Structures are given as C-alpha cells and as structure tokens.
Structure 1
Amino acid sequence: MRLLTRSNVLAAVNTGGPQWVVPTRVAVGVMLLFPADGAVQQLLAFSHPGFSVWPPGAVAVGLAIRGFEVLAGVSFVAGFGIRLSVYPAAAIFAVRALVNFANTFAWLRDAVSAVFVPHGDWAYGALYLGVALLLGDLQVTGSGRWSIDYWLCKRLNPQAKPDARR
C-alpha cells in the first residue's frame, strides 16, 4: 500500500477531471476495440493471407498486436492507466493512418507495400491521424472524473484522507 501512495505512482493516475475527456476517451476506446477498417494485424503484409510466404511466428505477432489493441481499448473505456495506454494507442493509430494514406497515394503505396497492405482512403487516414494527435491531449489531462484513475487517485492520495488522530 505504501508503494501505491508514492507521488510518482499517483502521478500516473492523477487526473484533473475536465468533462470533455470522458466521451473522447470512450470513443477512442471503441475505435480500438472495434476498428472500422480492420485490426492492425490484418493490415500487416506478413500476416495477410495474400502474402506468399508467412514467416514463422507471424500469427503470434498478429495476435499480440491485436491483444495490445484490446488492452488499450479496455483501458480507454474504463479510464484506467490512460497515460500509459496512450503510447501503444498512438502507434496503432499512426499505423492505421499510414495504411489508409498509402491506398490513396501511389508513391506511398509503393514505399510501404512490403510491410503494409494498403486499405481505406485518405479520409480514414485523416481521421486516424487526428485521433493520434488528440491522444497527446489525453496524455496531459488524464482520464477524467468518471474513471478508475480518478477513483484511485482519491482513494490513495494521503493528503485527501482526514487525520484520525485529531
């Protein structure tokens, strides 16, 4: 319990609680849990069924990447560990943006076709790029008042508890 009340651990869950954060983080979580254009492992060339030679472990890597997507999505929906979940979520949305932009621009499609399967169009790419940039704001503000982080911060903060010796 003493480890959890240290200031550096509480800094990871401390949230100021602005109201715009809650619907935003829930929407990002839903986008991670139920991707509109397929999960990231479906967009990787080495785990795609059309790829001629599957390297060993491609299925395991694809499942691990989908696992990161699901864990980050649940974290955003529940409001738990948002500041830690921002990093993998930003990488996931950046890959989705790159893949969608690659389908629109021929030069980008040629450059990334060995790694990614082009999918979608520039509009989805712009959407995912916007979400990746919005995650920077969530990194600063935290997960909002209706979250597990807010509850943990109030429960574990030693200054918030009344002194029983008085």
Structure 2
Amino acid sequence: MAEALHVFLFLAAFVAMEGFAWLMHRHVMHGVLWTWHRSHHEPRTGRLERNDLFAVVFALPSILLIYLGFHVSPWFLGPGLATAAYGAVYFLFHDGLVHRRFPVPIAGTSPFWARRIEAHRLHHAVRTRQGCVSFGFLWVRPVAALRAELDRRRVAVGEPAE
C-alpha cells in the first residue's frame, strides 16, 4: 500500500508542477525577474542566455527534496523525483523541441505536441513582459482562443491584430 501512495505522491507533485510553473512564469519571470527572462524573448547570441539561470534555481528544491527523501523521510522522495521529472520533460520540450537548442527524439507533429508548440510560439509573439498569452506547458488553452486573446491585447495597446 505504501508503494501506491508513493506513486500517487509522485503523480500529484508532477501535476502540481504545472500550476507552479504557470505561476512562476506569469508572475515571476514576467514580473520581478523579467531582467533574467527577457533574454529568452530576444534573439539568442550564444549557447546560453540569462534565462537559463532559472533552471539552476528551480533544480534546488528538487535536489533538496530528493536529499531529504534519502536522509530524513522517504515521503520527500516522490515529490523530489516528480519535480526533477517535470524539469527534465520541460527541458526536452521547451529547449529541445520548441526552441531547437539541441536534437530531440520526437518530431513534435502529434496534435498534443503541435498544440503546445504553437501556444509557445504565440507566447513569444510578444517581446515585452506584458501582453503575452499562454504561460503553461502541459495544459494549454486551444490555439484559436490564444490567438483571439493575443489579438485583443494587441488592439488594446494600439498594435494591429493579425
């Protein structure tokens, strides 16, 4: 029975990471730490960008939870591994599949991945911290709704809609 609970904790933490990632992206990356994230909305000039610092910062809680899972209580291990797994999937998807910073083993042409790639491209259609759409990763709204919202935001600030 304990094994099932550990699996549940892993899955619950993995799903919860989507909400955490959305909140961090929307309110921290496009908020107080825009100075780091801005590099991601501009053309890259080298292999790394200042935005890559977020990967280091976001890895720390996972490392801590995994450490606690081995040295304090096994109940920390599932959430720690889930956080690491979410980070790995995000890294492969975001940096590999969407931004093509390195080759990935999938084409991204399935409806599942194509929708996420298009949503992320719509997010990058705006190069400022305000006005962006689609801050999620695994859960994204329909692309048509995102396009309509982006057009509404552009019209509101005096830019032409596409």
Query: TM-score normalized by structure 1?
Result: 0.34
Bigger RCO (CA 8 Å, 6+ sep): 1
Q: TM-score, normalised by structure 2?
A: 0.35
Larger radius of gyration: 1
